Amino acid sequence: MKLLRIGEPGQEKPAILGPNGEFYDVSAHIDDVAGEVLSDEKLNELSQLDLVDLPQLDPNQRIGACVGNVGKFICIGLNYADHAAESGMDVPSEPVMFFKATSAISGPNDEVEIPRKSEKTDWEVELGVVIGKRAKYVDEADAMNYVAGYCVVNDLSEREFQIERQGQWVKGKSADTFGPIGPYLVTRDEVSDPQNLDMYLDVNGERRQTGNTKTMVYGVAVLVSYVSQFMSLQPGDIISTGTPPGVGMGMSPQTYLKTGDKMELGIEGLGVQKQTCVPAKS
């Protein structure tokens, strides 16, 4: 099952993606794609709905972020060995964790704002893992039972803010629009192996990133278990699992996004995002 949120920011309606790309409104059954709705029990209830009985939404409407009311947006750094190498950094001996502000979350096709004074805004296609139930001190063997599903994430980064200035990575990761998620949340039963998904990202029609989740240093089960040792995970929390090589920082010469640039990125079975870069708004 593929779940979406359709409508203008703050007015999104929960929907199920139909077999031919239709948006079926499920707002009579759930308030949002968020919180306890992401439990196995509720997702199973939704999967039993007969789509022909549901009203359809205008397919030309905006697609919002695929999860609402995200509590934590947790990111894993340097989780592909070849990306660590292009960044000039060692493969970490355990997962590197940092956060993006949840205010960075945007729809998959919303405009991406280049921050003021930015000269090094970069792209990163990543597999997002959406938590379905409270997880605390979870064993790796049981970790996948806490996953509601998966989505595409563009973990946009301002490299000067992130690396060249004082403090932690978060301020280079958290500008408004720096966290497009979606277009849909794909429930875990539809993803037979999250560790074997092709992924890509193009800038202005040129391929920049090509990868597969099988080259992750730390896989999904390891990450869910690992993070749960340090904090409880709640339904709707997102773990963004790292990016393959091909980011602008790793190019020679380094190449970064500018106003007017267009990105397209996708992950096998999880859909495609398309964004245009614009100047930061007030």
- C-alpha pair distances (Å), 79 with each of 37, 85, 169, 213: 30, 11, 15, 10
- Counting residues of the chain whose pLDDT is more than 90, the rounded percentage is 92
Other CB atoms within 10 Å distance of the CB of residue 85 = 14
Residues contacting 119, CB < 8 A, separation 6+:
160, 256
pLDDT at 193 over 90: yes
Instruction: Give the closest residue to 45 by CA, choosing from 23, 66, 61, 29.
Output: 29
Span 25-67, pLDDT tens digits? 999 999 999 999 999 999 999 999 999 999 999 999 999 999 9
Span 199-235, pLDDT tens digits? 999 999 999 999 999 999 999 999 999 999 999 999 9
CA angle 231, 232, 238 (to 5 degrees): 95
CA dihedral 152, 155, 156, 159 (to 10 degrees): -160
The mean per-residue pLDDT over the stretch 1-27 comes to 97
Class of domain 73-279: alpha beta
Model pTM score: 0.96
The number of residues making up the chain comes to 282
Coil, helix or strand at residue 194: coil
Element (H, E) at 69: none
**Arithmetic mean of pLDDT over the chain:** 96
Span 65-118, pLDDT tens digits? 999 999 999 999 989 887 777 777 778 899 999 999 999 999 999 999 999 999
- Counting residues of the chain whose pLDDT is more than 70, the rounded percentage is 100
By the 8 A CB rule, do 199 and 244 touch? yes
Which of 166 and 36 is assigned the larger pLDDT? 36
- C-alpha pair distances (Å), 191 with each of 1, 144, 185, 234, 242: 10, 12, 11, 21, 18
- Residue 22's Cβ-side half-sphere holds a number of Cα atoms within 13 Å equal to 11
Task: Give the pLDDT confidence score for residue 118 in this predicted structure.
Answer: 96
By the 8 A CB rule, do 113 and 121 touch? no
Task: Give the pLDDT confidence score for residue 92 in this predicted structure.
Answer: 87
- For the chain, which residues make up each domain, given as ranges? 2-57, 73-279
Tokens of 270: 């999880």
